[in-house]
Amino acid sequence: MIKKMITCAAALMLSSTAAADEWTSRKGMRFGYAYVNGAAEASEDVHSSHMTVLGIELQQTMKGGEWLDLLFIENVTITGLDQSFAAPSVSLMAGFEINNQLQVGVGPNLAAFDPGDEENFFHLAGAVGYTKAAGKFSVPLHVVYIPDVNGYWRFGATTGVNW
């Protein structure tokens, strides 16, 4: 089932972006902060629930008119390097962008780390972001919330640079 979901998502992204001239794309590096509720108590690998985040993000927007655009986001991050372990995470989100600055998205998240060791690797991710133009580049500020049925919810805030 996981293979089918990933294959369908990839096919949708590739076919949609190639079919329209109205698509624009941004990509960039990300760094920031993450909090994983209860992770330090549940896992001996985690020393603190507060962690650093490093990653890369791809964004595609389809112009919808004067102020509203369709938005697709692919994000890959690694959390926990400051504590000598690596917890990779992948998110695929769909949403919208207002006035080329405010982004809102929601979609599936796949995380290789489950503090409760109950194999809960799939979650829903919701994100809100603001991006400010800076010449050839842009500077994003994003926050994400990832709920968990066992109480190991996650909150993150990242920034970086897009080109």
pLDDT given at position 65: 87
- In this predicted model, what pLDDT tens digit does every residue of 47-73 receive, in sequence order? 999 999 999 999 999 999 899 999 999
- In this predicted model, what pLDDT tens digit does every residue of 14-32 receive, in sequence order? 555 445 568 999 999 999 9
| pLDDT greater than 80 at residue 6 | no
Cβ atoms 33, 51 nearer than 8 A: yes
Q: How many CB atoms lie within 10 A of CB 134?
A: 10
The residue ranges of every structural domain in the chain are 22-162
Which residue did the predictor score with more confidence, 45 or 11? 45
CATH topology of domain 22-162: Porin (2.40.160)
For residues 101-122, give the mean pLDDT.
Answer: 95
Structure tokens at 140: 């994003």
Cβ atoms 156, 134 nearer than 8 A: no
DSSP H or E segment with residue 15: helix 2-19
Average confidence score pLDDT of the chain:
91
| Percentage with pLDDT > 90 across the chain | 84
* pLDDT tier for residue 89 given thresholds of 50, 70 and 90: very high
* pTM of this structure: 0.86
Q: Which residues pair with 75 in a beta bridge?
A: 57, 91
